[in-house]
Structure formats: C-alpha cells, structure tokens
Amino acid sequence: MMKVNHTLPEITLKSVILGVFLSIVLASANAYLGLFAGMTVSASIPAAVISMGVLKLFKRSNILENNIVQTSASAGESLAAGVIFTIPALVLMGYWTDFDYFEIAKISGIGGLIGVFFTIPLRRALIVEAELQYPEGVATAEVLKAGDHQGETDDSSKNLMMIFKAALFGGLMKLAQQGLQMWNSAIDFALPFASRQAEKRSVIGFGSELSPALLAVGYIVGRNIAVLVFAGGLISWIVAIPLYSFFNPVEAGSGYLDAAYDIWNAKIRYMGVGAMVIGGIWSVINLYRPLVNGVKSSLNAYKNRNSGIAVERHEKDIPINWVIIALIISVIPVFFIYQDIIHNVFTALLMAVIMLIFGFLFSAVAGYMAGLVGSSNNPISGVTIATILFSSLLLLLIKGTGSIEGAAGAVIIGAVVCCAAAIAGDNMQDLKAGYILGATPWKQQIMQIVGTLSAAIALGLTLDILHSAYTIGSETLPAPQATLMKSVAEGVFQGNLPWNFVITGAVLGVLIIIADLIQKSRGSDFRIPILAVAVGIYLPITLSTPIFIGGMVSHFTRKHRETHPENKQGLLFASGLITGEALMGILVAIPIFISGEKNWWPEIPGFSWLGILLFVIITAILTKIAKRN
C-alpha cells in the first residue's frame, strides 16, 4: 500500500498528554473486558476517533499527531491483555493475598518494554518487505485520513458523538445489571437426558450473556472468528459435556447446570489447553523464515546507517544497538523478580533466559499473526499457555512436586512473555498505520514506550478496585484466561493436570490445522485458525453466544459496508458499547472499593425481561447503523 509522505510535527505536548490519558482509560476498560469475557479487542480506532475529536479543539493539529495519540493509547489497551490474562492467577492460586501494585507495575512495564524492543528489528521485514495486511492498522489509517479533511462538514465530530452515544447506552445497561441487579447477566440452562444408569442423567448446557460489549466484540472480529469461537463452545457444551456425562452421569434431580459447569471446568476446558499449545507451536514453525529475514533486514539497515548511506525519515527506527543494550538491561530487573520468588540464583537466571527466548519468539509470532488476522484475533493465549506449560515442566525438575513457588514462577515467566507478545502485535498494527500515513517509526516507538509505561502504572490500581468490588475469579468477574493459567501451572506441580483431555485437545488441534491448510489450498475466504476454536472450547458457552450473534450482524451487513466503505459507524458504535460497558463496570466498583461494602448499591431485581429486550434492541440498532449509508 502506497504511503503518504508528511513533514508535520508528531510528538507534541498535547499529543503526549492525550496519549497518556487515553492509554490509562482504555487499559482500564480492556482490563475489565478481559476479566469478564476472556477476550480483548483493539482500541486503535476508537482512540483515533477520540483523538481527532479532541485535537480539533486546537487551532493547530494534524494527522500525525492523531496517529501518535492512538499509538500510545492502543499500547495501553494491549498491555492490559497481557496483565489480566496472567497476573490474577497469582492471587487465584494463593501466592499473593492481594494485588501487589508495585510488582504488577514492574512485571507489566518490563514485559511491555521488551515487546516494544523485540518488534523494532522486525518492522522492516513484516511491514515494508512482507507487506502483510495488518487489517486494524490499515483501518486506523483510513479513519485518520477520513477525519483529516477540512470541509463544511466535520465527520470526526459525528464519529465522536457516535462513540459517546453507544458508550452511554452500554454503560447504563451495565449499571442496571451490575450495580442495581435488575436482571441476571446471563440466561443459561442445562437439560438432563437418559444415560446408561436409571438413577443418573447425562447433561447438556447452553446460554447467553446479555452483554452489549460481547455483541460488539463479535461484530468487530467478524463472522469467521465469531463462528469459530462459537464452534469451540459447541464442541465443549453440546458434544464433549454430554459425551463425558454419558459415561460419568450425575444424580437425577440434582443441579444440572452446576454439574455441566463442574464437568467443563474440571475436564473439558483442558481440551482448549492442548489445542492452544499446538497452535502456539504451529505459529512458531510458520514464522521461522520471516523471523530470520527480519533480523537480517534490521542489521543491514544499521550497517547502511553506519556507512553514511542516507536513510529517509519514514524508515528510521530506534537504532538496533540501542535496542540490544536496552534488552540486556531489561533482563536485570527480570532476574531480580524471579530471584524474589525462587530464592535461587541459578534458577532465577535460567528463568530470565527462558523468558528472553520465549519473549522474542512469541513477540515475533504475535507481530506476524497481527498482520494476518489483526491484533484482536492474535494468539496471545496460545503462546502464553505454551510458555507456562514448558516453564512449569522445567521448574518441576528443579523444584519438585507441590512447589507453589515453582507454579508462581511459571506464571510470572508467562506474564512477562504475555505482556511482550500483546504489545508486539498491537505495535505492528500501529507501525503499519504510521507507514501508510508517512509517520516516523522511531517517534511511534517512543510513544509505544510512553503508552506502555502509563498503563503499567495504572493497571495495579484497576485490578485492586475490581478485586475488592467483584472478587476476580468469581461468577461476576470469572477471569477465564487467568484461571486457566493457574490450573495449568498448578496441575503440573500437583500432578493432577488432566493430560488425557490435553492430549485430546492437541489431536483436535492438529486436525483443525489440517482443515485450515485444505481451506488455504482451495483459496477459501473462510479460514479455520486453531486458536479461535481453542478459545471457544475453554470459554463458557454464555460468552461465545453473543460473540456469535455479533459476528452474524457483521456478516449480514458486510455487502452493504463493502459497497459503502466510508461507513465506519457500525465499528465506532461497537467500540463505544465496549468502552461504555467496561468503564461503567469499573465506576460501579469504585464506591464498593472505597467503602469496603459489597452491597453498596441498592438492588432492584425482577426485570429479567427488560435485560433480554434491551439486548435484542441493541442488536437491531447495531444492524441498522452498520447498514447506514
């Protein structure tokens, strides 16, 4: 794609202040969404729209300032994913009694910085030379270009108002459901059916969350991913749970829904672990050649610079020698973090080396996969699970069975790698947008560092507020990803990991990869990325269902949106729903956090019908807006 060449100011005081503010706000919102749903979405486009709306208030603002703001803001949103997928596991396993603010800032800040540094030598290979699609980066660039015109009508103001209206609607629904308890967050049920034993029953479960944010997630990720996540849910809840309970039936007349959840939690979801491990390994295999080319390309650019060959402004990265020095320095605090846990110099050094190797490999995987499927669909969970499983097995040899320090150490290795990979995928999207707009790469990389550190400072407090109000790991805020990381690490050290289900998931993963390769050879636009199915297997079906509905809305409005590519209203409305619901979830938690009283909000139950009705209405509104000319 042809890039635009600008010589406009980029890093300005107002762009830095706005970028830091949005990084903190969107990181907090995405932290809530990830703890609630087990999935996160890219914040680049809403950040770009908000930036355009705010910077229009100043006499002098330009497209590259807006790009700098969204670069910083989306870095914060991505770091939130790395944090909430892993760090809550330390509290869930009892290693921490509460969230240690400074430890969270250290772990996430260092992990995020490593992710920024690892992507710098890959930029030329993956963006300039490989010309990967980077769908969200391209979309962000198009939104910024569309808002950059100076005419009688200002679309950026309308876009900002669209996000605000959606956020208000999503926020009010969350207040009614979460704060005032007017209706249950989900409709779910389980049905018994006959088994081989007269007094026992097999069970089958289904349901849906009444969440506008999950509907919006499905719309943003699109039909393909939404269908695959839902398919994974059906594999778990419509096939695997009934099959397992046929051979291991539950007592007739007992709580069938609780029984279905118990079976899924203890056994079935580990199929997702096996599939994710296979997906992570497969991603690394696919990346070998681009990885080598990326390092060679970066070293050649450094040699050219030292030889006095002129390098254009929009091709200048942070110099590779600075990157190497920064990475070496970053290993020192990582070593001390591990030393505080393990209390063994050799083991802590080994863990730091493992982190560096996995961090580089999986940051490259995340950066490459973001180019193929977008950062919202990136295989962060898969690479983190693979890291934690490998680290646990290695530490098991050193620490022995039953070691809580070993399990915690594996989770923290995974946390640093997860933060690095999450940041890496998002950064490549931002650098793609900058490449199209003619931005200066090293300036974007500086703002990625600023956004990462801003979010790292804020996320510890966000987790503390949410945990005090809702108890992370509870039904209200289940933290599915962190719960899974805890289960894998503890399962290895306690010897109770259900390996038969992990192996079954791995076999299923291989079959899905084969099916995806067949689809690729046929040139089909419906691909089957293994990690999307794996996510669905280990998410409750109640989360997969609204994501599927949102994906169907995206599918049935796709032709219209392709005819009118300038219509980004559906995307902005969906982004507003996510932002409003997530921020209200945090705002509802603040008075509970301050007062220490979990029943702070008055309850007004008995409006279940209203929750269903509003969910249907918001689905219809999203469909209508997406089809608007």
- When pLDDT is cut at 50, 70 and 90, the band that residue 130 belongs to is low
The count of other CB atoms within 10 Å of the CB of residue 581 is: 30
* Residue 112 confidence (pLDDT): 92
The pTM of this model reads: 0.76
**pLDDT tens track for 318-332:** 777 888 888 888 888
* Residue 454 confidence (pLDDT): 93
- When pLDDT is cut at 50, 70 and 90, the band that residue 303 belongs to is low
Residue 32 CA to residue 137 CA, distance in Å, equals 24
pLDDT for 2 beyond 60: no
- When pLDDT is cut at 50, 70 and 90, the band that residue 155 belongs to is low
Q: Look over the chain and give the mean of its residue pLDDT values, rounded to a whole number.
A: 81
User: What single-letter DSSP state applies at residue 211?
Assistant: -
- When pLDDT is cut at 50, 70 and 90, the band that residue 131 belongs to is low
* Residue 511 confidence (pLDDT): 93
Name the nearest CA neighbour of 621 among 160, 155, 613, 175: 613
- When pLDDT is cut at 50, 70 and 90, the band that residue 316 belongs to is confident
pLDDT for 350 beyond 70: yes
- When pLDDT is cut at 50, 70 and 90, the band that residue 196 belongs to is low
Q: Which of 159-168, 366-375, 575-584, 612-621 bottoms out in mean pLDDT, i.e. has the lowest?
A: 366-375
pLDDT for 449 beyond 90: yes
Q: Dihedral sign, CA of 487, 489, 490, 496?
A: positive
> Could you tell me the two tokens for 19?
């970028």
> Could you tell me the two tokens for 239?
């096939």
Q: Which of 153-162, 176-185, 380-389, 582-591 bottoms out in mean pLDDT, i.e. has the lowest?
A: 153-162
**pLDDT tens track for 403-428:** 888 888 889 988 998 899 889 888 88
* Residue 447 confidence (pLDDT): 93
Q: Hey, what's the torsion of the CAs at 330, 332, 336, 341, to 10 degrees?
A: 60
* Residue 135 confidence (pLDDT): 66
* Residue 510 confidence (pLDDT): 92
The continuous run of DSSP H or E covering 202 comes out as strand 200-209
DSSP secondary structure letters along 28-61: HHHHHHHHHHS-----HHHHHHHHHHHHTTSSS-
* Residue 455 confidence (pLDDT): 92
Q: Do the Cβ atoms of 49 and 572 come closer than 8 Å? A: yes
Q: Treating both helix axes as pointing N-terminal to C-terminal, what angle do 380-399 and 530-538 enclose, rounded to 10 degrees? A: 70
Mean pLDDT comparison of 64-73, 247-256, 299-308, 569-578, highest-scoring range: 64-73
* Mean pLDDT of the 254-271 span: 82
* Mean pLDDT of the 366-377 span: 66
- When pLDDT is cut at 50, 70 and 90, the band that residue 152 belongs to is very low
The SS3 of residue 98 is: coil
Burial of 250 per CB tally in 10 Å (0-12, 13-18, 19+): buried
The count of other CB atoms within 10 Å of the CB of residue 306 is: 10
Residue 143 or 84, more confident: 84
Residue 265 or 423, more confident: 423
pLDDT for 453 beyond 90: yes
**pLDDT tens track for 601-627:** 788 877 888 888 999 999 999 998 888
* Mean pLDDT of the 50-68 span: 83
Using a CB cutoff of 8 Å and minimum separation of 24, what contacts does 328-333 make? 330/110, 330/113, 330/114, 330/117, 331/356, 333/106, 333/110
Residue 212 CA to residue 398 CA, distance in Å, equals 47
Q: Which of 65-74, 262-271, 292-301, 533-542 bottoms out in mean pLDDT, i.e. has the lowest?
A: 292-301
* Residue 310 confidence (pLDDT): 52
* Residue 254 confidence (pLDDT): 66
* Mean pLDDT of the 587-592 span: 78
Residue 419 or 370, more confident: 419
CA 403 to chain centre: 30
* Residue 619 confidence (pLDDT): 92
User: What single-letter DSSP state applies at residue 127?
Assistant: I
Residue 584 CA to residue 582 CA, distance in Å, equals 5
pLDDT for 375 beyond 70: no
Residue 583 CA to residue 29 CA, distance in Å, equals 5
DSSP secondary structure letters along 555-594: HHTHHHHHHSTT--HHHHHHHHHHHHHHHHHHHHHHHHHH
The continuous run of DSSP H or E covering 192 comes out as strand 186-194
* Mean pLDDT of the 204-228 span: 84
Q: Do the Cβ atoms of 542 and 186 come closer than 8 Å? A: yes
* Residue 572 confidence (pLDDT): 80
Name the nearest CA neighbour of 259 among 328, 190, 318, 309: 190
